[in-house]
Structure 1
Amino acid sequence: MSILFECEYKGLRYAGVGIPAPGRPHVLYRVPEDRVRDAVIAGGGPEAVLAAVTEGAETVEVTTGDPELRFLPPLLPTTTNNALINGFMGTHRSKFDHDPAPDEEFTPPNYYLKGFGSWLRMPDEPLITPAEPLWLLEEPEVALVYVNDDDGVPHYAGYTFGNDLNDIGLHRKNPWAWTPYAKLCETSLTPWLFLDEPPRTVTGRVTVERDGAPAWEGDFSCGGDSLYHRIEDMTAHVLSYPLLRRPGLVNYLLLGADKATFHDGFRIEDGDRMVIDVTSHGVVLANTVQCGQTAAADSRRTASR
């Protein structure tokens, strides 16, 4: 598998190939913000993208853990924030009582728009939630990354993995109206962009740590073979909407999650650390839950005459 990542080091943007090993130097390639975007749009496959990013670039060696090194979500345009976090709900076979028929007509799954790309968080960064959530739920998911060219045509860049933390308690209390509120929790992604077709098989294990010890553990599956819907149908449908085809826009499409802590009756609490070990791909995504502060009274304003 070809893997690319982007980062900031000493205030400059770089790209790297592969996943850095802890404590060992890793080569970074100096890139302007649009270099990876342009390489994806130009096409040619993973090798062409890697060559466009690395050939002739200024390099520097950095060790993971360097305080001046900060990883970025794949293709995130930091200067314009021209990126959206999107997602699908109810996509897994584990949430249906039957398998789809081979000739079954495609019915789009529920969709949500979660926020701007700048709202994404990286591994080991806290995920902020509302001050008093009803019942938090981690959701290990595949995230597909698309970037639109200057004509608004989406180009598939690759995939990574995310945790779509949300308040499923709000969703269950009023699924027809309160789901958008339930999604107002921060989302984390791994910075590693796998320059391959969307994965068919993704398996791993979630551990929720409380006070430094495991409090809940469970397996998950989130590859294409675990979904009720075909990935091609889902992406083609949502990316047909003009607002998601604006020139230069980066779309992060979360494909939905398997059953998890909530379905086992476990409640995630403030301060818990969620560790998502995507064992099939050698990737770990860990974040601590941090409930936000209650809004001050003067921030809730009403119009006055």
Structure 2
Amino acid sequence: MRLIQCLHEGQLRAAMVESPQQVRLISGSQGVYGLAQQAIAESRPLTEVVEAALTEERLDYAALIEAKQLLPPLTHSSPANCLVTGTGLTHLGSADTRSAMHAKAQAKESELTDSMRMFKLGVEGGKPESGACGAQPEWFYKGDGSIIVNPEGEFPVPAFAQDAGEEPELAGLYLIDGDGQPRRVGYAIGNEFSDHVTERFNYLWLAHSKLRACSFGPELLVGELPTHLEGTSRIVRDGKTLWEKPFLTGEANMAHSLANLEHHHFKYANFRRAGDVHVHYFGTATLSFADSVKTQQGDRFEIDLPEFGRPLRNTLRFSSDDEAIVTVRSL
């Protein structure tokens, strides 16, 4: 089952994807968040709750896109109660690009870079036996729900950014129940979006390289995730494909199990606050930056995973404002 969220007649609505051409509205204006809360309260699978709430009203999918009515497939009414985080060096081969980005900063080429050490830890201990704690992944915090860009929306590129590159990833979408138990609502295509030039200068600037803006969706996959997924990441400029490359994801192509990545995120009690939504990016191994692509105003990112329905598409909007020093004033 795949779900979307959209604006319909001025209200937030959830809908089930019936075909590439149409979606079927779900009753109520509580969205996917409310449906998930209902599933928890009634101890029922989300799919059952959705099926029981389907209406006979159907909407044209292409018309929703054209009207810019698509929303992320899971949202919280309070952006501060949605946390956006992620992990890196999780995919087989993903360390190669990162290692090359900062290998020159190492004292001896014969020694493993820190990225390769981290990646090696994942390969050796990122998929522990059930119930065991595996190796910790690289982890980062991006921001709260205010940074999330709608599918088909524009990524704002701040004036201080030296690069604006895509990161095609899987995102796990979660809701914390009333007892503080993380509940996985489903998965979505994600574009985590980063400044790879800043990261290349010094990998310790990883946190600064995260440009905060990100997107996921448009569709939420409910149920089990295939272990092997093959997708395509591309950049379109002036209506023509500038760059395109296949990418692999899913546990069969990862150094860590999803359960291990989830454990190391939710092991912190403050990330198990009842009612909060979490969007967690699982990492990637494919970047246009590695092929020396330089993005520019109006470029469109397209990330396509067939199992997730429609591709995630976002365009770039560069800031024309001069970079200003932010000052703090005393009270």
Label 1:284 to 1:69 Cα distance change in 2 as closer, same or farther (>3 A).
closer
CA contact (8 A) 2:26 2:50 kept: no
Q: Which residue of 1 aligns with 2:250?
A: 223
Matched, 1:190 2:213: no
Matched, 1:155 2:169: no
Q: Which residue of 2 aligns with 1:301?
A: 327
Displacement of 1:238 in angstroms is: 0.9
Q: Which residue of 2 aligns with 1:35?
A: 34
Matched, 1:100 2:123: yes
Identity of counterpart residues, as a percentage? 27
Label 1:279 to 1:51 Cα distance change in 2 as closer, same or farther (>3 A).
closer
CA contact (8 A) 1:84 1:115 kept: yes
TM-score (norm 1): 0.87
Does the residue aligned with 1:172 lie in a helix, a strand or coil? helix
Distance 1:19 1:181 in 2: 41
Label 1:239 to 1:91 Cα distance change in 2 as closer, same or farther (>3 A).
same
Distance 1:147 1:304 in 2: 38
Relative to structure 2, which stretch is displaced further, 97-106 or 217-226?
97-106
Q: 2:270 aligns with which of 240, 243, 251?
A: 243
Displacement of 1:17 in angstroms is: 1.2
Q: Which residue of 1 aligns with 2:109?
A: none
Displacement of 1:140 in angstroms is: 0.8
Q: Which residue of 2 aligns with 1:175?
A: 203
Relative to structure 2, which stretch is displaced further, 192-201 or 42-51?
42-51
Distance 1:272 1:38 in 2: 38
CA contact (8 A) 2:20 2:310 kept: no
Relative to structure 2, which stretch is displaced further, 189-198 or 225-234?
189-198
Does the residue aligned with 1:93 lie in a helix, a strand or coil? coil
Label 1:295 to 1:83 Cα distance change in 2 as closer, same or farther (>3 A).
farther
Give the aligned length.
Answer: 297
Relative to structure 2, which stretch is displaced further, 11-20 or 147-156?
11-20
Distance 1:14 1:282 in 2: 19
Q: 2:170 aligns with which of 139, 142, 147?
A: 142
Letter paired with 1:30: S
Displacement of 1:10 in angstroms is: 1.6
Distance 1:266 1:68 in 2: 31
CA contact (8 A) 2:143 2:212 kept: no
Matched, 1:124 2:148: no
Displacement of 1:19 in angstroms is: 5.2
- Report the RMSD for the aligned CA atoms in angstroms: 2.6
Q: 2:309 aligns with which of 282, 287, 292?
A: 282
TM-score (norm 2): 0.80
Distance 1:80 1:303 in 2: 26
| Correspondences of 1:57-72 after superposition (within 5 Å) | 60-64=57-61, 65-66=63-64, 70-72=69-71
Label 1:40 to 1:5 Cα distance change in 2 as closer, same or farther (>3 A).
farther
Relative to structure 2, which stretch is displaced further, 81-90 or 140-149?
81-90
CA contact (8 A) 1:147 1:248 kept: yes
Distance 2:84 2:314 in 1: 18
The answer for unaligned runs of 5 or more in structure 2 is: 96-115
Distance 2:140 2:51 in 1: 35
Letter paired with 1:121: V
Q: Which residue of 2 aligns with 1:6?
A: 5
CA contact (8 A) 1:10 1:69 kept: no
CA contact (8 A) 1:36 1:53 kept: no
Does the residue aligned with 1:215 lie in a helix, a strand or coil? strand
Letter paired with 1:113: Y
The answer for unaligned runs of 5 or more in structure 1 is: none
- Structure number having the greater helix percentage: 2
Relative to structure 2, which stretch is displaced further, 72-81 or 191-200?
72-81
CA contact (8 A) 1:39 1:48 kept: no
Superposed CA offset, 1:119-151 (max 9, x none) = 212222111122242233211111111101122
Superposition misfits of 4+ residues, deviation over 6 angstroms:
102-105
Q: Which residue of 1 aligns with 2:294?
A: 267
Q: Which residue of 1 aligns with 2:140?
A: 112
Displacement of 1:20 in angstroms is: 5.2
